[in-house]
Chains A and B, each alone.
Chain A
Amino acid sequence: MHGVLALVVASEEAEVTAKNPILPETKEIVWAVVAFVLVFSLLAWKAWPAIKKALRDREDKIRGDLERAEAVRSEAEASLEEYNQQLAEARGEAGRIIEEARVAADQVRKDLIARAEADAADVRTRAQEDIRLASDRAIADLQTRVSDLSIELAERIVQRNLDRDTQIALIESYINEVGGTRR
């Protein structure tokens, strides 16, 4: 009995070892197929499209951000250009205003000088006129005085018989008198 059992066990072992471990076994193929089909179908259905979409979304986001940044940059550059232009215009305008002011001030100065010169000339003319008038008046006064004295002298000569000594004395006294009045 033991011998038979031993024989059966031995034959079973022989059968197991007789199978080449390199040859594929049906039961393992079955589960390999089931597993791969599950992995492929579920990943192709759920995982791969989601991952692909996430990657594409990020790519789009980055591209969009870069494009927007580029647009903002060129806009800023345009603004800067505009400001620079406005600044240059303002500087030009300021220069022009200063130049105009300088010209106006120059003109005012020239006008003032001309008017001052004219006034001075006027004053001088008037002074000369005054001097001339005073001089004329003095001469006229003198003439009147001389004629009065001459008349007076003539009256005195006529009133006396005059000898020579008397005449000289008379003339001297007259001259003295005139000199006294002149002083």
Chain B
Amino acid sequence: MTIQEISEQIVEEFSVFDEWLDKYEYLIETGRQMPPIAEEDKTAENLIEGCQSRVWLNCQEKDGRLWFTADSDAVITKGIITLLIRVFDGQTPEDIAAADLSFIDRIGLKDNLSPTRANGLVAMITKIKAYALAFLQKEKEHDEQE
């Protein structure tokens, strides 16, 4: 599925919740499904700055696609990063770098998060995109060398 299709799916899933607590239940459940990352991946490099709780995002490339794992000491935060990973996991760096993220506004996540949390969300997306851009840069340098 494309980034766009998964985004639509998430918006649809969220649309069934009227109550904010139900949305949190969903995020908590989502966060719990993501297995914790290995301790050695909890590096300063993988740590996302700008979140009130600590969040680590690990990225690996395989056959031209990027794969993510993440962890956080706060479970709602982990739910949010897990949602983002669901959208971006296994996508190409080109698509990730170019992705439109309006789904975040449409599920109302940003508006209803505390400002520090919303900053955190922006920081997470920035980090995901930074991984994609770094990979593209590396590829470009590699091509130029050849």
Instruction: Note whether A and B form a binding pair.
Output: no
Query: Which residues from chain B sit less than 8 Å from chain A, CB to CB?
Result: none
